[in-house]
Structure 1
Amino acid sequence: MTRHTLTRPKVSGGSALALVLVLAGCGSGGSDAEPELTVLAASSLTDVYQGLAAGFEEEHGAEVSFSFGSSTDLAEQAADGAPGDVLSTADATSMQAAEEAGVAGDVVEFAGNVMVIVTPAGNPAGIRSLDDLEGTTWVRCADEVPCGRVATSVLEDNGVTAAPASLEEDVRATLDKVVSGEADAGLVYASDAVAAGDDVETIEVPGAEKEPTTYFTTTLEQSEDADLAQAWVDLMTSDEGRAALSEAGFTVSRP
């Protein structure tokens, strides 16, 4: 487990998107009320986090709810004091926004990812490399979010100048465009390709490991249950969490 105090300068972003939390049983509750945990997390963590929630809820007698989206937006919302217990981002810059605002606890690095090309099942456009994107309808994340910054670097490293048909708000929106057949290809994380299963064909990008994505998580100062929040953070670096992340297509370092 690697703990960090990040010192990268904060990147100013646009106005944060409205935070949408799916919460059940909200209210004052009583002494026997089930504890609640709200996790703000990068959209690429959707499947693995949801998969870990059931076991966590049973072990801690708690209810877990998630707000998935762009790391940039979620970190800005957390920095502004939005309700939440845990923040997990797909880059250091987004986490730095929470740190500089004084709402982050100890920051833990817990996983990595690399960018790949995905096409609809059957690969109707016959895309086999980044060079084949020219002349096709392909999509990637917007520049201001982590998956967009990584995609831009990967494209530049490979000398690709083809323009995307659209820039999506996060990596799951990018994946959805491909799965639905609206796009011939998309640049997403390897874990998103795993989550899509047979709905996509995956093409590895040579040298993508030179532009890895690193995931960070922390408890939030506004949490109303610091111990429960810390338990979720600890889960990410436990044997159970590491196994789930690895199976989902993330890279994990040895403890």
Structure 2
Amino acid sequence: SEALRRGHNNRSSEVGDPDYYDVPVDKLLSKERTKELVKSIKYNKASKASSIKPLSITNESRDTTHYSIIDSEGNAVSNTYTLGASFGSGVTIPGTGILMNNQMNNLMYRSGNVAIEGRGVSPGNRFKPGKRPMSTMAPVMVFDKNNNLSLITGSPGGSYIPGAILRVLTGVIDFNLSIGDATMLPRVHKDWPYTGIDYEKTLSSDIVKGLNRMGHKTSSNKTMGSTQSIHIVDGVRYGYADLRRPNASVSAQTTN
């Protein structure tokens, strides 16, 4: 009966008309999913519904995404793009399927407007047709003193983006860390005009206590951003996908 119940859990959570829904058949029938469900069965006690987890399916982010690319010829791309939130403006360009973003909300509607958490108060960010709003998105390319490409990085994360990227840059450039170690350093965030500091839970408790003694109001945050980077060292390209968000990946294509 418990096994049957778990079969119904799969059916209820992930089954639908395949003409309209991409049913994850392979994952539903995988050994990993079967082992997960078997492990949740208690042979001497009826299990609670809360202990039977539906199949974990991670969909594409509805918001901001970043990718870093370099090809065999050295042509490189650092691209951060966003809809803003959910389906953006909800407007689709006819014949393309491309959704328009809703980033007009990053413009200042009138002088002195502080409705957007202090982000849009600059007179240079006043609302005007055709104008690009201010943004924290910052796709980055770093070149060495000989003008050779050294590092490509960028991140989603809204106002967390600058701090996430800065942490990677200082880790690689100032402390000579590998791109992986620099990416996984604990991050902090301090916005304007607020006095508080957000920090990732992996930050040392001694550092947090020190910040509190200085008068900072600290608040823990699970993750900040998700940098996607390529570091070029002595002609070798090292890619690293931030582990803070699911389904990030690094791929390399080799040619003969």
Q: TM-score, normalised by structure 1?
A: 0.21
Q: TM-score, normalised by structure 2?
A: 0.21
Query: Whose relative contact order is higher, 1 or 2, with alpha carbons under 8 Å and at least 6 apart?
Result: 1
